Amino acid sequence: MTYCLGILNHSGLVMASDSRTNAGVDYISAYRKLFEFCQPGDRALLICTSGNLSVSQGVITQLKWDIQNEAEMNLFSLPTMYEITRYVGNKMRGIQDENREWLERDNIDYHCNMLVGGQIQGEETQLYQIYPQGNFIQATEETPFLQIGETKYGKPILDRTLTFDTPLDAVAKCALLSIDSTMKSNISVGPPINVAMYEANSFLLQHGLQLRLGDPYLAKMRKLWQDSLRQAFDAMPNIEWEQVSDPEDVLID
Determine the pLDDT at residue 27.
63
Single-letter code of the amino acid located at 207: H
Distance CA 199, CA 204 (A): 8
Q: What is the pLDDT of residue 101?
A: 81
pLDDT of res. 22:
65
Which pLDDT tens digit goes with each residue over 178-232? 999 998 888 778 889 999 999 999 999 999 999 998 899 999 999 999 999 999 9
Per-residue pLDDT tens over the stretch 89-98:
999 999 988 8
The residues near 146 (Cβ < 8 Å, ≥ 6 apart) are 5, 6, 115, 127, 128, 129, 137, 139
Q: What is the pLDDT of residues 112-130, one digit of tens each?
A: 999 999 999 999 999 999 9
Q: Say if residue 251's pLDDT is above 60.
A: no
Cβ count near 90 (within 10 Å): 14
Enter the pTM of the model: 0.90
- 30-86 pLDDT per residue, tens: 889 999 999 999 999 999 999 888 899 999 999 999 999 999 999 999 999 999 999
The overall longest dimension of the chain from CA atoms, in Å, is: 81
pLDDT at 247: 61
Three-state SS at 148 = strand
Instruction: Provide the sign of the torsion angle of the four alpha carbons 126, 60, 131, 28, taken in this order.
Output: negative
**Domains of the chain with bracketed CATH:** 3-233 (3.60.20.10)
pLDDT single digits (tens) 223-248: 999 999 999 999 999 999 888 776 66
Q: State the Cα–Cα distance between residues 213 and 156, nearest whole angstrom.
A: 24
**pLDDT greater than 60 at residue 163:** yes
For residue 47, what are the contacts with CB-CB under 8 A and spacing of at least 6? 34, 35, 37, 60, 63, 88, 114, 115, 116, 117
